[in-house]
Amino acid sequence: MNDLIVRLENVTKIYHTGEKVHALDQLSLEIKRGETVALMGVSGSGKSTLLNLICGLDVPTEGHIYFEGVDLSSLNDNESTRLRREKIGIIFQTFNLLPTLSALENVALTLRLQGNSKKKSDARAKEMLECVGLSHRLSHLPDEMSGGERQRIAIARALVFNPPLLLADEPTGNLDSQTGESILELLINLHRQFGTTIVIVTHNELAAAHCQRRITMRDGRIVKDEVHRQEQP
Ligand SMILES: Nc1ncnc2c1ncn2[C@@H]1O[C@H](COP(=O)(O)OP(=O)(O)OP(=O)(O)O)[C@@H](O)[C@H]1O
Ligand SMILES: [Mg+2]
């Protein structure tokens, strides 16, 4: 197996809407399989842009991105979708839940799309929703739930298929500190148990302390990259 799960080579992302924005500027980065990375930096520094490029939801203006050694620019739309469906759990800043599906259905959908039976998918989704403390809200629609609850559905959905890579954009941003802490523990346990590689965007020092590596961005560049210690027990 390739030791590197993600590699970025001189990646630049320029948005042309209105004024030209250099969201990422000649950024190079290697993420090893099994690493836990806290991605930090002020608002607008390019963190979400970086996650969107790593999972192939957006394409770089210049440079190359490799997932398990495969150049993402060589994948067509179907292959790119399949990569995300099978290998990358994504927790978006905006959750991206399907409004017409219940909590259970939102989480089970990923498994159904992978070809699992309804029975198996529902059972596993239920288990995952229990892990994030939502077993009492299985049949609620996203609109019928609080921001923190929606965030937890998004977390359950990203984790339900045990992806080798988890990209999490401020996964505990809307949660009270106790719920946030239990979600972080869930993520770290996942890493311990399955070797999941985790990249987590956070503004929170305590959350970052759970990770082995801390990358700080500014103006679309990495300005600090520290492997500070093993994660806390
Ligand atoms: N679709 C877009 N069109 C134009 N500009 C964009 C777009 N998406 C992001 N940007 C700009 O690119 C820069 C980086 O944005 P990004 O969302 O990656 O920041 P971020 O570090 O995730 O910030 P935050 O902490 O607020 O979530 C910002 O200046 C933003 O305004
Ligand atoms: Mg962001």
pLDDT in tens, 54-68: 999 999 999 999 999
Q: What is the CATH number of the domain that holds 193?
A: 3.40.50.300
Between CA 36 and CA 197 the distance in angstroms is 6
pLDDT on residue 73: 96
Residues contacting ligand 1 via CB (< 6 Å): 15, 17, 21, 23, 41, 43-49, 93
| pTM for this prediction | 0.92
Whether 232 maps to a domain, the answer reads: no
Low-confidence ranges of the chain (pLDDT < 50): 231, 233
Residues 6 or more apart in contact with residue 70 via CB below 8 angstroms: none
203 belongs to a structural domain: yes
Asked whether residue 108 is assigned to any structural domain, the reply reads yes
Q: What's the token pair of residue 63?
A: 């440079």
In a domain, residue 147? The reply is yes
> 174: domain range?
4-227
Per-residue pLDDT tens over the stretch 69-120: 999 999 999 999 999 999 999 998 888 899 999 999 999 999 999 999 999 9
Q: Is residue 233 part of a domain?
A: no
Rounded to the nearest angstrom, the distance between the alpha carbon of 38 and the centre of ligand 1 is: 18
Looking at ligand 1, which residue's alpha carbon is closest to its atom 5? 15
Instruction: Return d(Cα 64, Cα 74) in angstroms, integer.
Output: 10
Rounded to whole angstroms, the maximal C-alpha distance in the chain is 50
- Is 149 within the bounds of a domain? yes
Closest atom of ligand 1 relative to the 93 alpha carbon? 27
Q: Which protein residue has the closest C-alpha to ligand 1 atom 25?
A: 43
Nearest alpha-carbon partner for 194 in 166, 222, 169, 213: 166
CB 164 within 8 A of CB 6: no
Pocket test for ligand 1, best of 16, 49, 169, 222 (most atoms within 8 A of CB): 49
Q: In what order do the strands lie in the sheet with 21-32?
A: 21-32, 4-15, 62-67, 70-71
Residue 87 lies in a domain: yes
How many domains are there within the chain? 1
Average pLDDT of the chain is 93
- Whether residue 141 is contained in a domain is answered as yes
Q: Which two tokens stand for residue 6?
A: 């993600």
Q: Would you say the C-alpha torsion 175, 136, 210, 55 has a positive or negative sign?
A: negative
Is residue 151 within 8 A of residue 129, CB to CB? The reply is no
Residue whose CA is at the smallest distance from ligand 1 atom 6: 15
